[in-house]
Structure 1
Amino acid sequence: MCELYVKADPILYESRSRSLRIRGVVTTLRLENQFWQILQEIAEVDGMTTNQLITKLYDEIMELRGEVVNFASFLRVSCTRYLTQREARPVPLSVVRSSVG
Structure 2
Amino acid sequence: MCELYVKADPILYESRSRSLRICGVVTTLRLENQFWDILSEIASVDGMTTNQLITKLYEEVMDYRGEVVNFASFLRVSCTRYLSKQRVPAAELSLVRNR
TM-score by length of 1: 0.86
Q: Which residue of 1 aligns with 2:9?
A: 9
1:32-70 Cα shifts (integer Å, max 9, x gaps): 000000000000000000000000000000000000000
Deviating 4+ runs (over 6 angstroms): none
Unaligned runs of at least 5 residues, structure 1: 91-95, 97-101
Q: Distance in 2 between matches of 1:10 and 1:79?
A: 19
Give the equivalent residue in structure 1 for 2:20.
20
- TM-score normalised per structure 2: 0.88
Residue 36 of structure 2 aligns to a residue whose secondary structure is: helix
Unaligned runs of 5+ in 2: none
* Separation in structure 2 between the aligned mates of residue 56 and residue 2 of structure 1, nearest angstrom: 36
Q: What does 1:1-101 align with in structure 2 at a 5 Å threshold?
A: 1-88=1-88
What percent identity do the matched residue pairs reach? Answer: 84
- The structural deviation recorded for 1:88 is 3.7
